[in-house]
Structure 1
């Protein structure tokens, strides 16, 4: 499985590195021809610098593999296309979202997410995290001719890095809440996928809840 972590970072595919969880909360510059919204870019940036889900993943990895040394990342490699495969296989349902949000609002977010088409992602982030945007074809090329070569090929090119995937963001009718799928991996057995619920506040977007859908 592609996706796992270490010190703080995120489905659009991303290979990341350099994890020093510092972030500049300046506004993300929206590409003129992007079908992604300003809010979506701001949410992606917020997630790329959030520590909570990655701490949870770190703890799981250490409990299952005590001798495993979690790499200190120096780059985030992100797929340039948002994940179009949103559905039951990702565990996208209202029960994976916080009960503090009423059911109809949760349903509206999921319905909006399922309507959205895949979009191209550009590196328009202001966060102090090195990000490399690459195509899915480039990611696939790291598989090589032999099974299990993906991560060794990735590290040869990018050094200690993580691969991140984002989906589009589904919003409620007011635009206060959003939901999306996000995955993060640093090795064949060090990754996880999450259903993220976010909320807009006076200070910007914040992570309300991260429900772990899968882990390896």
Structure 2
């Protein structure tokens, strides 16, 4: 039995191969199996690593909601419940959504640069270094948007403040790690900075965790993104 990596429904075997569009990257190819809910992953996305799937989705998606982009990527089979891949995800999801909203000219070079910066943050930084990689990725997004560097004034301060705001959201929850909570909170921090400080006309975001109750350290009702189903 083959199951859909996105909704976990059993795939339907077709009588003959037909064209399907990859839910992750938008590529079109022939397939003998399809998800009853219309999901499909192409061969290249099926074999992709965490970094590769972040790149493939963020460079090709038409989705305008960064939470939806992040949720899609985190459902890929290569994505771990916890791990360094979340450090690359936040900035990529936010910048891809802004590009699709035609808010900012975000090209492929900026997107791949954001992913590479996030890749440098080590595993377990939240517990050993006092900073969460997903939160740093929020700062990366603002750094890309403002062309910040260590010699600039307002741009540098805004980049640092965005990471700090994301970290504060984590401390308000408390408890052990949750990379999903960290990802959602960091995306919201980027959205708040872009809206309030950079005067971008961004749509409001709504967050409900797609992984609630599944992860070992899930905070359940304590988490603001948890909703009983």
Compute the TM-score of the two structures, normalised by the length of structure 2: 0.25
Considering fraction of residues, name the structure with more helix: 2
Considering fraction of residues, name the structure with more strand: 1
Q: Which has the higher contact order (CA 8 A, sep 6+)?
A: 1
